[in-house]
Amino acid sequence: MLTAESVGLDYRNGGSVNRAVDGVSLSIDPGSFLGVIGPSGSGKSSLMYLLSGMKRPSRGRLAFEARDYAAMQAAELMRLRRRRFGFVFQQHFLINYLSVFENVLVGAVRRDHATAARAHQLLGQVGLADELHKRPFQLSIGERQRVAVVRALVHLPAIVFADEPTASLDQATGRQVVEVLGHFRQQTGGAVVVVTHDPDMLTGADQILHMRDGRLN
């Protein structure tokens, strides 16, 4: 479904070049759970930005469903991310003046009855059925992150990219977030990519890639 062939990402700092990602090749199949683990600064988040089309590679090739990223204009990549991908970050990025339910619908491509029903169902699955009308500041950190996960899933993306989604959570809540992502792929056939420094969050992964100094070991 998604392939990366010898991709690299360079950051220039004056006269020096930092190779954040250096010659990485991998593939992501429908329904798979891929974990990328490594210490801070290893390049794992930069790799996720490349895979999701948030950054253009300095070299190499990326393609989703045989569509080469290099052949897409910025607007096309934006539509791809909006319609086919879901994102969960370490920070929840919820909108404080919107309710839980409204925050979830912000991530929806279509805001119809089917989407609203799916939002209700997903929020129930993560234990937030009674919190629909609360604002983010009225929730715990773990509850906010669960709302962010539901927001990423509500439009049934082909791939969910999760960048350190449990870093600010306790172990129990972190596991719950990963379990929700696991249920999503089982129910829909969507793929999940989790970038983390915590191996305990990758229980159930089909493949775990270790990253250091921009390369997969």
Structure confidence by residue, pLDDT tens digits, 155-198: 999 999 998 887 777 887 778 878 888 888 888 889 999 998 88
The residues, ordered by sequence, that sit 6+ positions from 80 with a Cβ below 8 Å of its Cβ are 53, 64, 67, 72
Using CA atoms, how far apart are residues 147 and 101, in angstroms rounded to an integer?
9
pTM: predicted TM-score of the whole model, two decimal places = 0.90
Using CA atoms, how far apart are residues 7 and 51, in angstroms rounded to an integer?
9
Residue indicated by tokens 């392939």: 3
- Contact indicator for 92, 140 with CB cutoff of 8 Å: no
Residue 75 pLDDT greater than 80, yes or no: yes
- Contact indicator for 153, 88 with CB cutoff of 8 Å: no
The values of phi and psi at residue 208, to 5°, are -120, 120
Among 86, 82, 92, residue whose Cα is nearest residue 185: 86
Residue 84 pLDDT greater than 90, yes or no: yes
Residue 201 pLDDT greater than 90, yes or no: no
Residue 136 pLDDT greater than 80, yes or no: yes
Using CA atoms, how far apart are residues 133 and 130, in angstroms rounded to an integer?
8
* pLDDT at site 60: 95
Using CA atoms, how far apart are residues 24 and 162, in angstroms rounded to an integer?
19
Among 161, 156, 167, 160, residue whose Cα is nearest residue 198: 167
Residue indicated by tokens 């082909």: 158
Using CA atoms, how far apart are residues 13 and 5, in angstroms rounded to an integer?
25
> Residue 48 corresponds to which tokens in the numbers above?
């996720």
* pLDDT at site 91: 82
What is the average pLDDT score of the chain?
89
Q: How confident is the model at residue 35 (pLDDT cuts 50, 70, 90)?
A: very high
**Domains present along the chain, CATH in parentheses:** 2-216 (3.40.50.300)
Residue 111 pLDDT greater than 80, yes or no: no
Dihedral angle, C-alpha 126, 88, 139, 183, nearest 10 °: 10
Q: Mean pLDDT throughout 71-84?
A: 92
* pLDDT at site 95: 94
* pLDDT at site 208: 93
Burial status of residue 207 (CB atoms within 10 A of its CB: 0-12, 13-18, 19 or more): middle
* pLDDT at site 202: 86
Q: Mean pLDDT throughout 88-94?
A: 86
Q: How confident is the model at residue 205 (pLDDT cuts 50, 70, 90)?
A: confident
* pLDDT at site 188: 85
Q: How confident is the model at residue 100 (pLDDT cuts 50, 70, 90)?
A: very high
* pLDDT at site 40: 85
User: Of the segments 28-37, 109-118, 120-129, which one has the largest average pLDDT value?
Assistant: 28-37
Distance from the Cα of residue 148 to its chain's centroid: 10
